[in-house]
Each structure stands twice: as structure tokens, then as C-alpha cells.
Amino acid sequence: MKKFKFYSFILSVVFIFSPLLSDETRKPINKISCLDKGICHQLFSMDGTIVIEFTNQNKTIPLTVIVEYNDAQNLDLEAGRKDILLISPNEIRSTDFIQISDPNKRWSINYPFRFYQGDITQEMDADYVYRLPFRNKHLLTQGYNGIWTHQGKNALDFDMPEKTPILAAREGVVTDFADHFTIGGNNPSLKAKANFVTILHEDGSSAFYGHLYPKGVQVKIGQIVRKGQQIGLSGNTGYSTNPHLHFQVMKPIIQDQGVDEPTVPTFFQTESSLKDSLVEQNFYWHEDTPLSEIPFIAKDYIKICNDFNDKGEVFNCTSVRQKGNIVVQLYVFKPKIREYEFYVYSQGESAPILKWKIESQKDWSKFYTYTSSSNLNPGKYQLVVRSENLELDPIPFVVKK
């Protein structure tokens, strides 16, 4: 997963000037200097004072600038002074005046500053309810503080095939994206090579949508997007073991020692709740899906094999060996206590050759069940799963010697 980063730039500028005559007109001391992301700065003097002016050239993105001062000479500057300026799109804002102590002597100042997209001085709306960033349903493979790559992070991974449309979970303005990366894999060195979109929200928080498809970003920087608007296509770029969407919301917080940028937990509207906290290994449907249309299990999520792989997962084997076990892995969309019955039929036969049952626990969204395959002769078979009056389409498999 790519580590999310807010834009912060530190610039260190020193100006040393000859004596200034007292003058009531505002005079630029240096040339206006513009950085990436549409921010410009310039130093002015007027009537024995100096002031730093910042311009936000963005048409839709507000900026927060934090200016600190050091190495000031011959200036009446309080130790540790820090100015925080919120600059609306297309706006110019100045710092408070700094008095020149002795107008007949040289003065100097160094004003490193950092800037952030959005108003980071705001309190986040912690009760905001997001929409799921996709249509239909997807499995949450890793939740908040997940053990693989989300340790200490409030991030969500939704399993989905490449090129699944990604929708904005909340309205906002696009502040950044990348879509030129083409590779992905289970390798931390690919962390910074995920395609992504970031969307700034009204309350100063930002959502990050990661691992998008190469050239799969469908919005531009500065574009205002509606909640639910399609912003791109999912992919598998960067540090990613399988196609999925990484979603996280960050809210910068101004601390005494700089700015902290923690990920924050969020609520979602889902098929079953107006305000849901998502739990790992559960499926979630878009809120418009009627509950009656939601099965609790689907054939696509049943896998059969002889054994687990090194990740503790069951591969979808097309054939199993005659000797040993048959392992069946199931995903349950909405876990609760249920009895599941398993039947194995030889192709064309109406009486099952094997049958067994298992009672699932209320929190089992994924579970395994075994049976011995030693009674099965080489040939073609079908597995049928039944539960609560639901019978899934037969799942074919082959037994080999």
C-alpha cells in the first residue's frame, strides 16, 4: 500500500538588506516565487515593517500555510512565532506585520513554511457517513488495523477485479492523482508505485483511493466531484498482492511540533445499516441493494482443493487427488449461526456418494470444512451446498488418482 502523504514543502529563504528608509508605500523586497501546487510567496516592506504575502493560485483548492521564522536580525519578532494562514482559492493572504527594530540598520529573516491542501485548522466531522466506493458488493479483505499492511492504520481493502468502477465515497475536490504506474506485486519496494486519487473534503479531511488501474484515473486535479461520481477504475498497481481498492481517510492535525497526519475511521451506509462500521472479512453491498436480493452465500466464493496453500488459503482446484481430504472453503456474506449441508454426487447419479454437515458460528464469514475423498473413484463429481432452503448450483470437480 502506498503511504499517504499530504503535500508539505519546507522552504528556507534568507534575506539580508541594506538600511531601509522609512517609506509609506508598499515595496516588494524579492521577486514573487511560485511553487508546485499553486502557491506563491513574496516579501514586502512598508513603513518600517515587513510582511510575507502568500497567493493561492488554485481555483478550487483552499490551502493552509504554516510559516515559522528563524535567524531574524534587527526585527521585532517574538521567539517561536508561528503564523497559520488559511487561503481560499484565488486569494492572497499576508502574515501579520513584523516591525523592523532599527530602520537605519540591516535586517534579515528566514521564513521556512509548509503548506497543506485544505483547511487543516478545522475540526473533522467524525459522524459523516460515507457511501461505499463501488456499486454492488465487495469483500472487505483487510479492515482497520489489519494484520498484513494496515497495522496502526485506519485503512480498508476491498477485494475487486481490475477495472471495477470506483466511485467517490464523499463529495470534494480532487487534489492529486497518479495513473502512470503499470506494475504491482507483493513487494514493499513498490509502495510508492500505486496509482491513486486523493479527494479533499469540506471538513479538511481527504480520502485516498489506491492501487488504481494504469491510466485508470478519470478525474483531474481541481475537479469538484459529487458523492457517488465515478472517479476511476480499480487495479493492482504498487504494493499489492491481488486486485483490490485501498481506501483511507486522513485528517491533518496541527500539533506543537509540526503537523500529524493520522488516518481516521469512518462510517459507511451499507445494505443493512444507515451508519455501519465495517468489519474485516464481511461483504458489503451498496446501500440501494434490497436485503431480499442479498444471498448469504454464493457459488463464486466456494473453493475446493486437497489442502491449504502456504498462506492458509484454499486454492480453487479443478481436480483433487483420490487419496487424502477434500477441503471446502466458503465465504458467507452475512454471518450468523446456520447449518450447512454438503453433498457429493457422481456425475449423472441422483444419490449422493458423500454427505456431511457443519454448523457455522455467528461470526464466521469464512470457514473450512473437510471430508475424506478416499471413497471416491477417479471421475467427475459435483458438490452441492444447501442451507436454509437455499441450494447452490452444483460445483463440478474431478477426482484423479
Instruction: Figure out which of the listed residues 45, 130, 157, 278 binds Zn ion, where binding follows CB under 5 A.
Output: 157
Site string for Zn ion, 243-272 (x = CB under 5 A): ---x--------------------------
Nearest-approach distance from CB 393 to Zn ion, in angstroms: 33
Q: Which is nearer to Zn ion, 1 or 61 (CB)?
A: 1
Q: How far is the CB of 223 from Zn ion (least distance, A)?
A: 25
**Rg (the chain; Cα; Å):** 29
Chain residues 69-128 in contact with Zn ion, contact rule CB under 5 A: none
**CB nearer Zn ion, residue 52 or residue 194:** 194
- What number of other Cβ atoms are within 10 A of residue 135's Cβ? 16
Measured from the CB atom, is 66 or 194 closer to Zn ion? Answer: 194
Start-to-end CA distance of the chain, whole Å, equals 42
Which residue is closest to Zn ion by CB? 246
Q: Rounded distance, CA 92 to CA 94, Å?
A: 7
Instruction: Compare residues 157 and 162 and give the one whose CB is closer to Zn ion.
Output: 157
Q: What are 74's three cell numbers?
A: 534587527
CA distance 395 to 376: 16
Cβ at position 161, least distance to Zn ion in Å: 17
Q: Which is nearer to Zn ion, 242 or 306 (CB)?
A: 242
Which one of 46-54, 106-114, 128-136, 151-159 is the stretch in contact with Zn ion (CB under 5 A)?
A: 151-159
From the list 86-94, 101-109, 238-246, 353-361, the region that binds Zn ion by CB under 5 A is 238-246
Residues 6 or more apart in contact with residue 237 via CB below 8 angstroms: 181, 182, 183, 184, 193, 194, 195, 211, 212, 213, 214
Site string for Zn ion, 27-66 (x = CB under 5 A): ----------------------------------------
CB of 249 to Zn ion, least distance (A): 13
Contact 322, 378 (CB under 8 A): yes
> By CB under 5 A, is residue 2 in contact with Zn ion?
no
Taking CA atoms, 392 is separated from 15, 145, 365, 399, in Å, by 76, 34, 17, 21
Stretch that binds Zn ion, among 47-55, 239-247, 265-273, 339-347 (CB under 5 A): 239-247
Spell out a b/e string for 249-286, using b for 16 or more CB atoms within 10 Å of the CB, else e: bbbbeeeeeeeebebeebbbbbbeeeebebebbbbbbb
- Yes or no: say if 226 and 238 are a contact pair by the CB < 8 Å rule: no
Looking at residue 276, the DSSP 8-state letter turns out to be B
Chain contacts with Zn ion (rule: CB under 5 A): 1, 155, 157, 246
